[in-house]
Amino acid sequence: MIRFDQVTKRYPGGHEALRNLSFAVESGEMVFLAGHSGAGKSTLLKLVSGIERATSGNVLVNNQNLSKLRASQLPYVRQHIGVVFQDHKILFDRSVFDNVMLPLDIIGFDRRDAQRRVRAALDKVGLAGKEKVMPIRLSGGEQQRLCIARAVVHRPSILLADEPSANLDRAYALDIMELFKSFHQVGVTVLISAHDETLMEDYGRRIIRLREGQFAA
């Protein structure tokens, strides 16, 4: 499902975010990504979603080698992945409903089918009554849920979440983790990054620990 083969990512200016990293995540697996900020967690997730490209090595996602794919093909890879961004990337000029509608518009869903799916996704994350609300009126936790609804509305096979529990109190963070677990249980491959390891250890899943772009011992 996801395979890194001696992947190195160097940003312009020389900073090496990932160094010669190899690992695999099986289909349907739920994996945590741990490490301090700057350890390379976000870069790793960006390479999986094709937002960044590896400097060397191969990144395979759904049996496609992203390193060899043309730039014009990358959007189609992204359409099969759901991403919960660290900074949410919510659009504040439109309602909760229209925010979740965006991925379906991009893929080109039939309008009626799309509306049904948006309602189902909002229901799933617990925002059923807030369809017409503007995102600015949502609390931090609700904005996080909105972001999750948008990431799963098109039923991707891979779900990536970059620090989804940051800035949330523990009870709320656990709620969010339970939500990810429920997606994992229906077969979605889930990859979650966090700098707070205590939250992950309760789940007994595999944890990939990064330090300065390499596996931490």
Least distance in angstroms from the C-beta of 95 to another protein: 14
Kindly give the interhelix angle for 140-152 and 111-125, rounded to the nearest 10 degrees.
140
Q: What does the DSSP 8-state code read for residue 168? A: S
24 binding another protein? (CB under 8 A): no
Q: Which member of 13, 71, 132, 204 binds another protein (CB under 8 A)? A: 71
Cβ atoms 18, 57 nearer than 8 A: no
**What single-letter amino acid sits at 133?**
V
Centroid of chain to Cα 22: 20
Kindly state the number of chain residues that form the binding site for another protein, as judged by CB under 8 A.
27
Least distance in angstroms from the C-beta of 40 to another protein: 17
* Residues, the chain: 217
110 binding another protein? (CB under 8 A): yes
Give the CA count within 13 Å in the CB-facing half-sphere of 179. 28
Per-residue mark of binding to another protein, 84-103 (x: CB under 8 A): -x---x-x-x--------xx
78 binding another protein? (CB under 8 A): yes
Per-residue mark of binding to another protein, 131-150 (x: CB under 8 A): -------------------x
Q: Which member of 20, 58, 62, 79 binds another protein (CB under 8 A)? A: 79
106 binding another protein? (CB under 8 A): yes
DSSP per-residue letters across 112-147: HHHHHHHHHHHHHHT-GGGTTS-GGGS-HHHHHHHH
Least distance in angstroms from the C-beta of 44 to another protein: 15
In whole angstroms, what is the distance from residue 161 CA to residue 125 CA? 15
What is the binding site for another protein (CB under 8 A)? Answer: 49-53, 71-72, 74-79, 81, 83, 85, 89, 91, 93, 102-103, 106-108, 110-111, 150
